[in-house]
Amino acid sequence: MKPTLFLLAAGMGSRYGGLKQLDGLGPNGETIMDYSIYDAIHSGFGKLVFVIRKDFEQEFRDKVASKYEGHLPVEIVFQSLEDLPEGFTVPEGRTKPWGTNHAVLMGKDVIKEPFAVINCDDFYGADSFRVMGKFLSDLPEGSKNRYAMVGFRVGNTLSESGTVSRGVCGTDAKGYLSDVVERTKIQRIDGEVKYLEDDGTTWTAIPDTTPVSMNFWGFTPDYFKYSQEYFKYFLGLESTKTNLKAEFFIPLMMDKLIKDNTATCEVLDTSSKWFGVTYPEDRPDTVAKIQKLIDEGVYPNKLF
């Protein structure tokens, strides 16, 4: 069974003062998402599932989903603040969505096969889809508790316009994920990749090859059940009730499953260079990088 690509697009239309995710960066107005989907198709993925906001549905179907429907099956699911387990209600005054793992939960009724989760506004590169597509396709039928994450080499994920925030990954002797530590300020200084420590003054150097998470995960459908159960626990926490911005993130769920020895998460190395539009100044550079990949024959001039 071919794996599914699950795209987190619920933030579309609400952030950045414009539809950043629909910004045409390729020569024919291709978006970053178009390149991800092209790479996924060529890496053996057989279905697309988008999670979006309900109020954005028609525009999304017209501008986005219609492009891919002739190439592979497309499903759309919706994330809303009110989509909570029985017995829970939205805390008064809360307007912030519940986070990436809540968005993943929205796919539980339409995804019955191994699947990968990505952000729709990150350029991940062909090799990253190849390694994830192979991992998911090679899983024996009925596999459970064996997950994966694409571990980008931190030196391949930096912005020349300023610092970036990355989840720096720890791995064990077998190459499995042991922890993810969010570092909010990483950049190259004097030729070395360094992150700012929590004290706000100390910069610590790390090797260019250190794996970091760019929110490119691979799961089997049993992940939904764990997420449903843990989401109830998360909602019941006093810190969740009092913090109107508390979010149910994928790394939070993964950390629990790893620490409980419930599941393993293989860190897949990739030679792909991540890029995105973290800063407005990144846009011309991103356009140039895409054009270079086209010139090198990695992508055709027109994708779809």
* pLDDT given at position 276: 80
Number of neighbours of residue 160 by Cβ within 10 angstroms:
10
Asked whether the beta carbons of 186 and 193 are under 8 A apart, the reply is: yes
- Measured distance CA(276)–CA(279) in Å, rounded: 9
Residues 80-91 pLDDT 10s: 999 999 999 999
Question: Above 70 in pLDDT, residue 22?
Answer: no
Residue 185 maps to a domain: no
What is the average pLDDT across 103-117? Answer: 97
Determine the pLDDT at residue 56.
82
Inside any domain, residue 41: yes
Binned at pLDDT 50, 70 and 90, residue 18 comes out as: very low
Would residue 162 count as lying in a domain? no
Instruction: Please answer whether residues 154 and 211 qualify as being in contact, where contact means their C-beta atoms are separated by less than 8 angstroms.
Output: yes
130 within some domain? yes
**More confident site: 23 or 257:** 257
Q: How confident is the model at residue 127 (pLDDT cuts 50, 70, 90)?
A: very high
Measure the CA–CA gap between 81 and 61, rounded to whole angstroms.
Answer: 21
Contact call for residues 266 and 175 (beta carbons, < 8 A):
yes
Per the prediction, the chain carries an average pLDDT of 92
Helix (H) or strand (E) segment spanning residue 62 = none
Helix (H) or strand (E) holding 269: strand 264-270
Q: Tell me, yes or no, whether 201 lies in a domain.
A: no
pLDDT at 281: 81
Q: Could you list the residue range(s) of the whole structural domain that residue 240 is in?
A: 4-150+212-295
Q: What is the pLDDT of residue 236?
A: 94
* Average pLDDT of the segment spanning 170-190: 93
What pLDDT is stored for residue 21 in this prediction?
Answer: 56
Q: Does residue 207 lie within any of the structural domains? A: no
pLDDT value, residue 161: 82
CATH number at residue 237: 3.90.550.10
In a domain, 170, yes or no: no
Gap between the Cα atoms of 211 and 152, Å rounded: 5
Task: Identify the CA nearest to 265 among candidates 183, 173, 181, 171.
Answer: 171
Would you tell me how many other CB atoms lie within 10 Å of the CB of residue 10?
24
> Is there a domain that residue 177 lies in?
no
Q: What is the pLDDT of residues 129-152, one digit of tens each?
A: 999 999 999 999 999 999 999 999
pLDDT tens digits, 207-220: 999 999 999 999 99
Paired sense of beta strands 115-119 and 74-78, if any: unpaired
Number of domains in the chain: 1
Q: Looking at residue 49, what is its pLDDT?
A: 97
- Taking only the tens place, the pLDDT of each residue in 207-260 is 999 999 999 999 999 999 999 999 999 999 999 999 999 999 999 999 999 999
What contacts 229, CB < 8 A, 6 or more positions away?
A: none
The model carries a pTM of 0.92
